[in-house]
Homo-oligomer: A and B are copies of this chain.
Amino acid sequence: MTPVIEEDRLTETFAALANSTRRAILARLARGEANVTELAEPFDFTLPAISKHIKVLERAGLIVRGQRAQYRPCTLDAAPLEAVSTWAEQYRPVWEARFDRMSDYLTHLQAQPRTGRTR
């Protein structure tokens, strides 16, 4: 894959994940395959509304549909989520530096003489 395609793929993945119902569908599929009716059950949505969410997830490569005519179960494909994790992990040094600065500051506070008490 060229970097541009990877960037487009990442954009599509993030757009698909920017919806709590779609994230809940992925969480359900992490426990095993399910068809559209089974996926619609826990949500107060119509089948067409759930189907729309499933199509978005399918286009983003997060869901694969089975090919059996009557029963086309949805299966989670976590590969794009691995790409999201790898992308976010680049920034680990930034969030850890923030934590280190906070930790240094707290150590500094504890090390200071408690002038208020000795007066």
Q: Which residues of A contact B (CB under 8 A)?
A: 7-8, 10-12, 14-15, 17-20, 23, 26-27, 30, 76-79, 81-82, 84-85, 87-92, 94-95, 98
Contacts and interface: CB of A to CB of B under 8 A. Distances in A.
Contact of A18 (B11, B85, B87): B11
* Residue of A17, A30, A92 with most partner-chain B CB within 10 A: A17
A73 B78 CA distance: 37
A89 B91 CA distance: 15
A48 to B, nearest CB: 22
A88 B45 CA distance: 25
* Residue of A15, A26, A30, A85 with most partner-chain B CB within 10 A: A85
19 contacts: A7-B23, A8-B20, A10-B23, A11-B18, A15-B15, A18-B18, A27-B90, A76-B91, A77-B98, A78-B91, A78-B94, A78-B95, A78-B98, A79-B98, A81-B94, A82-B88, A82-B92, A85-B85, A85-B89
